[in-house]
Structure 1
């Protein structure tokens, strides 16, 4: 393996470890759910992504093998983490009436959460 390859793998592992630490620290220390949501969805996604890319690079340079499964895991992770964060945020808005009242108006007949419909008169 080349010196540049070793350096790139080590840099990606250190970068991934840093982002994983920041994401888990944010998850533990931020005060409420909406702020805690950024720890695992942003920083931890970058951390795991760079770890998986380092692993792909290692197997490509050391064993001359393309690790398709790690590429698929990375792609799946980057596609599903934002969707999961959106669903958790919308659920929080739907269930927490106190924080829903603090939100600015949407400019539409429906509210911020998916299930909110227009007000109907009974």
Structure 2
């Protein structure tokens, strides 16, 4: 009975991780500038491996393989946000400015409504 529950939880984690990866890939293609693309890629590069490796750990049980997967996950959780931050800083230093929608202010209303 517990094996069936672990398989079900593992499958849910694997599917959720795959869904996050696909949604992040769509976001990287669809977003307009490097900063929003970095956000889509950085968030999903952190969440998707967490869910996928979590599901794989549940499938493998407690053994040396699980420990190795945890080390890989720990490495990813430290390096992915750092790489995204470094890329954004390099883009900003290189003169790439974020895109702004000048037809709307911070509240989302157009300037003609004021």
- Cα distance between partner residues in 1 of 2:79 and 2:45: 13
Total equivalences in the alignment:
97
- Structure 1's unaligned 5+ residue stretches are 103-122
The structural deviation recorded for 1:44 is 2.9
Matched residue, 1:65: 63
- Tell me which structure has the larger Cα radius of gyration: 1
User: Does structure 1 retain, via aligned residues, the 8 Å contact 2:28–2:38?
Assistant: yes
Deviation track 1:87-119 (CA, whole Å, cap 9, x = no partner) reads 01111110016x28x9xxxxxxxxxxxxxxxxx
Normalising by structure 1, what TM-score? 0.72
- Cα distance between partner residues in 2 of 1:72 and 1:26: 28
- Cα distance between partner residues in 2 of 1:73 and 1:45: 12
Over 4 Å off, 4+ runs: none
User: Does structure 2 retain, via aligned residues, the 8 Å contact 1:24–1:44?
Assistant: no
- Cα distance between partner residues in 2 of 1:28 and 1:44: 15
SS at match of 2:88: helix
Matched residue, 1:95: 94
The structural deviation recorded for 1:65 is 2.4
Root mean square deviation of aligned Cα: 1.9
Normalising by structure 2, what TM-score? 0.77
| Greater share of residues in helix | 2
User: Does structure 2 retain, via aligned residues, the 8 Å contact 1:59–1:65?
Assistant: yes
- Cα distance between partner residues in 2 of 1:52 and 1:6: 14
User: Does structure 2 retain, via aligned residues, the 8 Å contact 1:16–1:50?
Assistant: yes
User: Is 1:84 matched up with 2:83?
Assistant: yes
